Amino acid sequence: SKSVECFYKSKRIAAHVRSYKKYGFTTLGEHMPKAHEEHAKYSISHIKSWAKKIGQQTVEFIDHMIASRALPPQAYRSCYGLLRLSQRYGNERLNKACEKALVIRATRYQQVESI
């Protein structure tokens, strides 16, 4: 009841303290496959490049959103969702919303969307 163990061909390959946090992540970076690490590098460069086209406040909010997660890849989908808001509302409006979100210390895509 206090731990989770992972087995492969009857051999224990990992053990973790069990988390009861609803919808929480407990992924350890060192347990991610190499392919995921490579994909993560591409994703972050693409996200930051897109954010720079929108504005400085968007770049800062993206950095803030990524830093608020235990592992950066946990924020990537939210980052892409945030950046897609520029297609609906325009770059200037999204950048202003990110500026306000930073002031109130928001960390979620939904918070910016509501602004």
- Residues 55-87 have pLDDT tens digits of 999 999 999 999 998 888 888 989 999 999 999
As a whole number of angstroms, the distance between CA 45 and CA 24 comes to 25
Q: Taking 80 as the threshold, does the pLDDT of residue 24 lie above it?
A: no
In the numeric block, which tokens belong to residue 59? 């770049």
- 54 pLDDT above the threshold of 90: yes
Q: Which two tokens stand for residue 31?
A: 């347990």
Is the model's pTM score more than 0.75? Answer: no
Q: SS3 letters for the chain?
A: CCEEEEEECCEEEEEEECCCCCCCCCCCHHHCCHHHHHHHHHHHHHHHHHHHHHCHHHHHHHHHHHHCCCCHHHHHHHHHHHHHHHHHHCHHHHHHHHHHHHHCCCCCHHHHHHC
pLDDT at 15: 87
Widest CA span of the chain, in angstroms? Answer: 56
Across the range 25-35, mean pLDDT stands at 72
